[in-house]
A and B are shown apart, each in its own frame.
Chain A
Amino acid sequence: MFLQRHDQIVSGIDWSRSSNKIVTVSHDRNSYVWTQEGQDWVPTLVILKLNRAALCVHWSPKENKFAVGSGAKSVSICYYEQENNWWISKVIRKKHESSVTSVAWHPNNIHLATTSTDGKCRVFSTIIKGVDTRGPQAGASVDWKFGEQIAQLDLSPTWAFGVRWSPSGKTLAYAGHSSMIYFVDDVEGSPAAQNLALRDLPLRDILFVSEKMAIGVGFDCNPLIFAADETGLWSFVRYLDERKVTPSTSKASQLSEALGKLYGQSRQGSSSDTVEPSKPRGGAHENCITCIVPLRKGSESIVKRFSTSGLDGKIVVWDLENHITIPK
């Protein structure tokens, strides 16, 4: 079944669990909220007022707002206005110096983290009168105005992707394109960051399976498992897909095969023409994994199943249950 409305690449999609709505955003600069009526999904256009592509979208935890990151260096926060029966967008235009590559909601439904190709990770307040200021609220978050920047992390010298909060909101993680992953505690207060250098290729997206375990996916075409010990120190555990030849040795040998021709020039003085690109061997994904999404049953706090999708056009469902013990 196809939901047909966008006329360019759909760059972001999110499905709200309780309210059963799908939000999609596209390079055509539009966004649609799809509501199920019987067998059909009916789209409602949300006017984002963008003059560049929309790149990513996520529903807020309470599903009453969604955030859209765009190539216009802005983030649009959209909420539903009951009186007029439509979605309104409020734009955060300041601060980002380049495209917003990913957005992530803090469990408090107000703080939003963003990553950008300017390398920085930022946290904003998205508090909206009438949407967030009803009923009892966590005191701290009401001090900030809409669009105010709460924190800025300048840890990556290059593009940043895949920002995610841990289930409690205490830890923030994001990927840097120089094969780095950053874990930051207490971003809104006194940030304490851990910069982990990855052995192989960069990540594009991250998922917190629990408070102390996270999965990173990216150009290695194989999910990476990260875990924190009792002191909160994060480290790389192993690759998830065992069918793939151990990347560190295989990549290096594939690379040496390819570069051998290049190195051969220095050794024997012989010339060679082309260098063949190395292909990943075996495993579920054959190309870069760009997205990782949890598959939750009921109100489980630990993610035991998740799906990944990538540039190879495949969607793979992974089950952690019998493969690793997940620290809470």
Chain B
Amino acid sequence: MCGTGRSKPVEALKTALEGSPLKTRDERCKSANWIVVHRAMMAIRDIDGMFNSLDTEYYDILMKYLYRGLSTGDRPTCDQCLKIHEKLTERAGLGCILRSLADTVNTV
């Protein structure tokens, strides 16, 4: 894999996370953003590398999307989400999980 190929999924993920519609209640808007995040997430092969270039401000939002992914029940999605979940929890701590679960107002 060439260098640029490896960094594109991370950039795509960052862009997708930035566009998270947390404040809206519009389900179609949330679904649309989820599709983009999902695609970017599934394309990532080097998870540690991803975290090295992802700022901590994205951690809480990413955790929310991981739980959305886990709720799909789709095997490849859940596999990827669990892999990322493990690393994210190591880096962000249990508080990150708390914030994604307890916040029923700002959902993805």
Contact = CB atoms under 8 A, between A and B. Distances in A.
Interface of A: 157-159, 177-180, 197-202, 248, 251-252, 255-256, 259, 262-263, 266
8 contacts: A157-B102, A178-B99, A179-B99, A180-B99, A200-B95, A201-B98, A252-B90, A263-B82
Interface size class of B (residues with CB under 8 A): 20 to 34
Given A202-B98, A252-B93, 20 more contacts: A157-B103, A157-B105, A177-B102, A178-B101, A178-B103, A179-B95, A179-B98, A180-B99, A197-B95, A197-B99, A199-B93, A201-B94, A202-B95, A251-B93, A252-B90, A256-B86, A259-B85, A259-B86, A263-B86, A266-B78
Contact of B102 (A158, A259, A263): A158
B9 to A, nearest CB: 19
Interface of B: 60, 78-79, 82-83, 85-86, 89-90, 92-96, 98-99, 101-106
B55 to A, nearest CB: 14
A200 B104 CA distance: 19
Contact of A266 (B60, B82, B102): B82
B103 A255 contact: no
Contacts of A202: 95, 98
Contacts of B78: 266
The main secondary structure of chain B at its interface with chain A is helix
Contacts of B93: 198-200, 248, 251-252
Given A256-B86, A262-B82, A263-B82, A178 B94 contact: no
Contacts of A158: 102-104
A256 B85 CA distance: 10
A189 to B, nearest CB: 27
